[in-house]
């Protein structure tokens, strides 16, 4: 768990995932990282017990696992949810909103 939370970007990803379900490709739009780095970071958070995932077509969707049996995981998720957003997280949140809005426009066509 400590290693998964040792990277600020992973903590920011986790904070976004506490708000909503996000597919890996949307996460790539939110953070200026390669697809492989996004996948590694999400897998590390998942292996630590913070996330759960499922497939929707070709997309892998992630969400914070607040129902995890570990009281320690739940306490950490609650603490992360209570922390204020920093500038980098606000920027990532705006980029994510843009990615989602673009997907909605494509579906309407």
Q: Write down the pLDDT at residue 16.
A: 97
pTM flag (> 0.75): yes
Looking from the CA of 46 toward its CB, the CA atoms found within 13 Å total 14
Distances (CA, A) of 25 to 14, 74, 88, 89, 108: 15, 26, 19, 17, 19
What domains can be seen in the chain, in order of their start residue? Answer: 8-108 (1.10.10.10)
Per-residue pLDDT tens listing for the chain (109 residues): 899 999 999 999 999 999 999 999 999 999 999 999 999 999 999 999 999 999 998 889 999 998 877 889 999 999 999 999 999 999 999 999 999 998 877 777 6
Judged by DSSP in three states, 58 sits in coil
DSSP designation for 23: E
Q: Write down the pLDDT at residue 103.
A: 81
């Amino acid at each position: 768990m400590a290693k998964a939370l040792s990277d600020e970007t992973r903590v920011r990803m986790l904070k976004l995932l506490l708000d909503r379900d996000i597919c890996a490709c949307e996460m790539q739009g939110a953070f200026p990282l390669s697809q492989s780095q996004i996948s590694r970071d999400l897998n590390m958070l998942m292996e630590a017990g913070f996330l759960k995932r499922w497939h929707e077509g070709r997309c892998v969707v992630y969400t914070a696992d607040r129902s995890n049996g570990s009281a320690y995981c739940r306490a950490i998720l609650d603490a992360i949810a209570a922390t204020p957003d920093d500038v980098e997280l606000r920027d990532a949140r705006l980029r994510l909103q843009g990615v989602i809005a673009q997907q909605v426009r494509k579906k309407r066509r």
